[in-house]
A = this chain, B = another copy of it.
Amino acid sequence: MSMSENGRAGEHATMDDVARLAGVSLKSVSRVINAEPHVSARLREKVEAAISALNYVPDTAARSLAGSRTFIVGLLFDNPSPNYTMNIQKGVYEACRANQYHLRIDNVDSSAPRAEYEARLLGLVSNSRCDGFILTPPLTDDVVLLDFLDRSGIRYVRISPALQAQRSPSVCIDDAQAAASLARHLWELGHRKLAVVLGPERHLAAARRRDGFIAALAELGLPEPVREVPGNFSFEGGIRAGTELLQDGPRPTAIFATNDDSAAGVMAACAQAGLRVPADISVAGFDDSWIARSVWPYLTTVNQPIEEMGYAAASLLLRKGEPQNTPHLLDYSLVVRDSTAAPLRA
C-alpha cells in the first residue's frame, strides 16, 4: 500500500507508448534501446524522438525478468577504512551510471565467526542476482568466496588482489614498487634507521608493500634490519605500533605505515611521546586517502587512484566479451608532503 496511492508516480511511459508514438513495433523500440544492429537510421531517429518526448526510461525490473541481465552491480565490502571505501564506492558508482547500471551495496562483517561469515557471504552472492560483483580487499583474496563465484559462474572483478592475480579480471597498482619508491625517498633524505608498521594479516596487498619497502632498502645497502611491528590499518593500531617503536629497542628515524590510517596513529604516538614530526622523526603512509590531509603535518604517502580503481573495476565488469585476466595496472605516485624530512644529525 505504501507507494500505492502513488497518485501519479506510476505514470511512467512504457515501450508500448513509445512504439505507438513512433509508429513502429515493440521490437524496434527494443532494438534501439539495446543498440542492436540492423536498425535503419530513420527508424532509430523516430524512436529516439519518441523516447525523449515521452521521457521514457526502461523498467529495470521488467528487463531483468525477461532478459538475462539485472542491470545491477553489487559492491561487497568488509570493513576497511571509511575513506578508502567511500572512494571506491564513488568510482564504482560513476561507472555504473555511465553504463545505465545501478549500484547495490552489501556489507559483510568479517569479524563474525568464520562459518557464519561464510554462510552469510555466499548467501548474499547467490541470492542477490547481480550481474556481477566488485570485490575489495580483504574480500579480494578470500578463496572460499572466489571458489564459490567461479563455481557459480558469477562474474566479478577484484581490486588490489594479492593472491592468484591471473585468476580473474582485476585492477591494482604495483604495491611493491610503490612502497619501494617511498623507501628510496626516505633513503635519499638520509634515513638509515627504519621501521614499518604492518597491515592486517589477511590483507595481502599490505604484505607486498612491506616486502617492496624492505627489498628496496636492502638493494640500496641498508646496513641494519628494518624493524617491523604489527598494525591493523586502524588509527588505534597505529598508536600502539608507534608507541611500541618509540619505547623499546633502537629508535627509528623514519616509520613507514602500510596505510594512512595507521600512519596517522603513528603520528599521534609521536606527539604523545613529545616528538615533533618531521623534525624529530619522519612518518609516511600509503593510500593518499582523505585522512592524509586530515592530520597535521600533512602526510607523505603513496597516492593510489582509489576512485579510478573503482571506476576501472566496474568498467571491466560491464565490458562485453570475454573477460581479460591480466591485472589492469594503474599508476601510483609518490606524494611528498610535510611529514618526512631529513633526520636530525645525531
Contacts and interface: CB of A to CB of B under 8 A. Distances in A.
A272 B296 contact: yes
B2 A131 contact: yes
Interface in A266-288: 267-268, 271-272
Contacts of A152: 6-9
B57 A65 contact: no
A82 interface: yes
A20 to B, nearest CB: 21
Contacts of A85: 82, 86
Interface string A107-147: 10000000100110011001111011000000000000000
Interface stretch (A23-31, A98-106, A174-182): A98-106
Nearest to A235: B294
Contact of A2 (B129, B132, B236, B291): B132
A105 B89 CA distance: 9
B153 A69 contact: no
Copies in the complex: 2
Q: How large is the interface on A (under 10, 10 to 19, 20 to 34, 35 or more residues)?
A: 35 or more
A298 to B, nearest CB: 9
Contacts of A295: 264, 268, 294-295
Nearest to A289: B82
Contacts of A1: 68, 115, 118-119, 320
A269 to B, nearest CB: 8
B4 A148 contact: yes
B122 A4 contact: yes
A87 B219 CA distance: 44
B60 A129 contact: yes
